[in-house]
Structure 1
Amino acid sequence: MGKYVVSPATHQTVSGRFSASFSVQRSQGNGNYCRVFRFDKTFASREAARMFAVTQGWLQSSMPNPPAC
């Protein structure tokens, strides 16, 4: 997505539901940027968790000045 590489991921929880996460990576010159975001919210399907991760990754990478953690 633009100058970032966003990688969504899903994970099945012990209860059988799915959690979402994504990583944002950017390499520019000598500097690298990599952040992993994990969410507490769970979803009934893997596809729902993936769509949530994709949407959150798009929002994060489209911000002009992403918030620092």
Structure 2
Amino acid sequence: MRDQAILVRNAVKNEIPAFALIGKDKFALQTLEYYYSLAKEECSEEFLKDLRDLIENDFKRYREENPEKIKVPDM
């Protein structure tokens, strides 16, 4: 998947709204899985593969390996 930090940095630089999810956010995995369910109707297979990898290899793994760090987001 494209470097997420670069995507966010470019969006901010160009005054494009951006939204970031981090692994410790209790709702991040569910949000990404829902996003995937929407994306699979219209996005390329390459994009979907990258998104599946992000969900499985990053967010799910982080949650499994760090359950004590998963929290409801706050400011």
TM-score band by shorter chain is 0.3 to 0.5
Q: Which has the higher helix share?
A: 2
Q: TM-score, normalised by structure 1?
A: 0.37
Task: Tell me which of the two structures has the higher relative contact order, counting C-alpha pairs closer than 8 angstroms and 6 or more residues apart.
Answer: 2
Q: TM-score, normalised by structure 2?
A: 0.34
